[in-house]
Structure 1
Amino acid sequence: MKRTLLAEFTAAEGAQDEVARLIGDYALKVREEEGNIAFDVYTRADNPRAFWIFEVYRDEDAFQAHLDAPYGGPFNASLVPLIEEVASVLTFLDPLV
């Protein structure tokens, strides 16, 4: 079964451009992962500091490989001081049909 999730976070005041640069660089790497199906980055139309990332992985093994990728830890360490939340808020999704 595919592993699908929505990651959400809000850039701190004045950090939006740096967050956008970091997530853009990270997205290029994640999209190259063998088991990644989608890694789509959005900002809310009414709040461009609010980032939403829609992620889909082939299966649980592909998701675990994503978590184990060597660039994930440094990305998260760079992101945390630039966002309002303690960490990205993750919502795991199951297909309805």
Structure 2
Amino acid sequence: MNEPVILHATFTARAGEEDRVTRLLADYSEVVRQEPGNVLFEASHLRGAPDHFFVYEEYRDEAAFQAHLSHPAGRAFNSELTPLIVEPTSELTFLCRLP
């Protein structure tokens, strides 16, 4: 059986870039949600800390996740996001669903 790929990404917007990151994430969320293997893509910021972002993603299986990684929109998103955040890249944490 193919297991879903579940992960969350976190990153911090540079000072003054919170609105740009929010708009970028909102636009990218719409694209990712249309990918055939995407189950869920939700972007949030921490309550009381609008510069700290949290993205929760789920893909049907590894093949769907790999297709997501190779999608041109992802490369464009990361290219635009990178100079707007404090970290060198978003920090990814992969999860396993409990039975």
> Normalising by the residue count of structure 1, what TM-score does the alignment of the two structures yield?
0.98
* Structure 1 counterpart of 2:82, one-letter code: V
Deviation at 1:82, TM superposition (A): 0.3
Q: What is the aligned residue count?
A: 97
Q: Which residue of 1 aligns with 2:74?
A: 72
Root-mean-square deviation (CA), in Å?
0.6
CA distance in 2, matches of 1:74, 1:41: 17
C-alpha separation between the residues in 1 aligned to 2:84 and 2:62? 29
Structure 1: stretches of 5+ with no match in the other structure: none
Q: How does 1:1-97 map to 2 (within 5 A)?
A: 1-97=3-99
1:86 partner SS: coil
- In structure 2, what residue type is equivalent to 1:40? E
Residue identity opposite 1:68 in structure 2: S
Distance apart, 1:90 and its partner CA: 0.1
